[in-house]
């Protein structure tokens, strides 16, 4: 869908031919025209293949031209503010003109700011997840001001992105050429293509925004699923290992590891699934709570309750997103490890050179910690231990350190919690 926004600076009926040519050339689906200023005795111009709708008020300052094959409904905004808001099947779209007067009476800066705030809060509450807000805001986005900061903060809270990135009005003030970025477009949850050009009927530029669904990249993931069935149990019983007290411990460990790995490979199947990476969705409940929180005084008790409830709903939404991925077969660690890998650490080699090679770093660290284990390996002096315990505790029962039997190891393994994290050999308990 292609949207257009333009301040035509009055003369709607006189400029209709140029507007019609521009709309057809740009293949616009919906155009919002600001400062149309149609008087009560003036007719509403029509364009072939389009429907023209104007704001239902005394001075019709905003008009919309929409393709006749697009289904829409107008959502009425009850305050005196030049705008048109429509609901299509997929989006909420609004065009506004933030003018300086009401019924020919000039507004103060504070009145204009308050009026704009009320509309923005209303729009945030009533807009769909997919929405667009565009028009002549008369707030220069390219320079810092209280109104610009207010508009920026609102867009951040509502997760809307201002997509116009160049000046949209060029004019001469007291002999000096000036430019500003006051014709803006805020879009949420849509991919955009923006074009700013001179319409030749106004000192404002026309802004077109092509909106489409954002493309999410899909990935093919290979998920391993381990199922222990009766055939696996029979295989384990038929190939069970036999150890004696004379069996070498290291050899027994290797044999047991190979035996477990073989059973695991027989019980494991691989499944390929497609997944689309996306963050959790901001649902209507979260959006409504945010709107309510903004309307309440920060120091009130009710504000704190709403804020806490909002945090709870956000956590629930995140949990639902993670659970949804897990239900597709992804593990918790695959989600955590999905972030980009950090830079490798730098270590000093025995020859005095520095290295960042992951394999060399891993070998150095392994050797370092293995040397710590080896230094701790020594025969215990039970006489010294007994003397030390006697000095500390007094008379106590004699004891000694002894070797552990296979039966004792097996008894401890049976008490371990199942499905705990596997070690380097890839076997989980």
Q: What is the pLDDT of residues 39-71, one digit of tens each?
A: 877 888 889 899 999 987 767 889 999 999 999
pTM of the model: 0.54
- pLDDT digit string, tens, across residues 204-229: 999 999 998 766 566 676 777 788 88
Inter-residue contact 141 to 98 (CB < 8 Å): no
Q: How far is CA 316 from CA 104, 288, 319, in A?
A: 50, 15, 5
Q: Comparing 104 with 87, which gets the higher pLDDT?
A: 87
For residue 247, what is the DSSP state? Answer: S
The predicted pLDDT at position 104 comes to 76
Q: At 111, is the pLDDT very low, low, confident or very high (cuts 50, 70, 90)? A: very high
pLDDT at 90 over 70: yes
The predicted pLDDT at position 340 comes to 46
Q: How far is CA 176 from CA 139, 166, 168, 201, 223, in A?
A: 20, 19, 17, 21, 66
Mean pLDDT of 76-83: 90
The predicted pLDDT at position 161 comes to 93
Inter-residue contact 381 to 366 (CB < 8 Å): no
Q: Comparing 420 with 174, which gets the higher pLDDT?
A: 174
The predicted pLDDT at position 88 comes to 93
How far is the C-alpha of 308 from the C-alpha of 302, rounded, in Å? Answer: 10
- pLDDT digit string, tens, across residues 147-181: 999 999 999 889 899 999 999 998 888 888 889 99
Q: Helices (DSSP H) in 268-381: which residue ranges?
A: 284-295, 301-327, 332-336, 358-376
- pLDDT digit string, tens, across residues 346-360: 666 677 677 778 888
Q: Comparing 197 with 217, which gets the higher pLDDT?
A: 197
Per the prediction, the chain carries an average pLDDT of 83
Mean pLDDT of 228-252: 85
Q: State percent of the chain over pLDDT 70.
A: 84
Q: How far is CA 344 from CA 26, 50, 337, 356, in A?
A: 51, 60, 15, 6
Mean pLDDT of 101-128: 90
How far is the C-alpha of 98 from the C-alpha of 141, rounded, in Å? Answer: 14
Across 5-9, 235-239, 363-367, which has the greatest mean pLDDT?
A: 5-9
Phi, psi angle pair for 72, to nearest 5°: -155, 160
The predicted pLDDT at position 275 comes to 60
Q: How far is CA 149 from CA 127, 139, 144, 231, in A?
A: 22, 10, 7, 68
pLDDT at 97 over 90: yes
| Contact residues for 43 (Cβ-Cβ < 8 A; gap 6+) | 13
* Domains recognised in the chain with CATH numbers: 2-212 (3.60.10.10), 284-336 (no CATH), 347-414 (no CATH)
pLDDT at 139 over 90: yes
pLDDT at 325 over 70: no
The predicted pLDDT at position 219 comes to 66
Across 83-92, 96-105, 402-411, which has the greatest mean pLDDT?
A: 83-92
pLDDT at 203 over 60: yes
The predicted pLDDT at position 32 comes to 96
- Give the residue among 93, 96, 58 at the shortest CA–CA distance from 74: 93
Q: Helices (DSSP H) in 85-216: which residue ranges?
A: 109-126, 146-157
Q: At 373, is the pLDDT very low, low, confident or very high (cuts 50, 70, 90)? A: confident
How far is the C-alpha of 81 from the C-alpha of 100, rounded, in Å? Answer: 10
Q: How far is CA 356 from CA 216, 337, 363, in A?
A: 34, 21, 12
How far is the C-alpha of 35 from the C-alpha of 100, rounded, in Å? Answer: 11
Inter-residue contact 12 to 38 (CB < 8 Å): yes
The predicted pLDDT at position 399 comes to 61
pLDDT at 301 over 50: yes
| Contact residues for 185 (Cβ-Cβ < 8 A; gap 6+) | 3, 5, 132, 133, 134, 162, 163, 164, 192, 194, 207, 209
Inter-residue contact 294 to 123 (CB < 8 Å): no
How far is the C-alpha of 12 from the C-alpha of 187, rounded, in Å? Answer: 27
How far is the C-alpha of 114 from the C-alpha of 116, rounded, in Å? Answer: 5
Q: Comparing 55 with 339, which gets the higher pLDDT?
A: 55
């Amino acid at each position: 869908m292609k949207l257009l926004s333009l301040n035509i600076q009055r003369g709607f009926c006189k400029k209709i031919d140029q507007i019609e040519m521009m709309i057809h050339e740009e293949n616009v689906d919906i155009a919002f025209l600001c400062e149309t200023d149609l008087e009560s005795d003036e007719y509403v111009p029509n364009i072939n293949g389009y429907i023209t709708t104007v704001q239902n008020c005394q001075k019709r300052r905003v008009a919309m031209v929409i393709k006749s094959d697009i289904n829409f409904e107008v959502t009425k905004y009850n305050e005196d503010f030049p705008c048109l808001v429509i609901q299509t099947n997929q989006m909420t779209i609004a065009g506004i003109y933030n003018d300086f007067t009401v019924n020919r009476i000039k507004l103060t800066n504070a009145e204009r700011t308050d009026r704009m705030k009320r509309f923005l809060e209303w729009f945030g509450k009533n807009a769909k997840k997919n929405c667009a807000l565009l028009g002549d805001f008369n707030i220069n986005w390219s320079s810092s001001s209280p109104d610009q900061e207010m508009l920026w903060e609102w867009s951040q809270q509502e997760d809307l992105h201002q997509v116009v990135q160049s000046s949209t009005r060029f004019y001469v003030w007291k002999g000096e050429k000036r430019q500003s970025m006051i014709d803006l477009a805020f879009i949420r949850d849509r991919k955009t293509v923006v074009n700013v050009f001179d319409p030749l009927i106004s000192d404002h530029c026309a802004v077109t925004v092509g909106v489409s669904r954002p493309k999410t990249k899909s990935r093919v993931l290979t998920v391993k699923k381990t199922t222990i069935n009766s055939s696996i149990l029979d295989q384990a019983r038929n190939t069970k290992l036999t150890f004696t007290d004379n069996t070498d411990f290291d050899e027994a460990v290797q044999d047991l590891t190979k035996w477990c790995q073989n059973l695991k490979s027989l019980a494991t199947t691989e499944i390929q699934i497609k997944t689309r990476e996306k963050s959790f969705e901001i649902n209507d409940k979260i959006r409504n709570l945010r709107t309510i929180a903004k309307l309440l005084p920060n120091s009130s008790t009710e504000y704190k309750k709403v804020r806490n409830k909002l945090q709870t709903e956000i956590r629930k939404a995140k949990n639902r997103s993670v659970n949804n991925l897990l239900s597709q077969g992804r593990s918790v660690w695959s989600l955590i490890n999905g972030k980009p890998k950090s830079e490798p650490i730098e270590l000093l080699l025995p020859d005095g050179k520095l290295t960042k090679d992951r394999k060399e770093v891993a070998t150095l660290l392994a050797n370092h910690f293995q040397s710590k284990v080896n230094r701790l390996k020594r025969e215990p002096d039970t006489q010294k231990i007994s003397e030390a315990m006697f000095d500390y505790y007094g008379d106590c029962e004699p004891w000694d350190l002894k070797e552990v039997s296979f039966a004792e190891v097996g008894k401890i393994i049976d008490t371990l919690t199942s499905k705990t994290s596997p070690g380097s050999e890839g076997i989980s308990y």
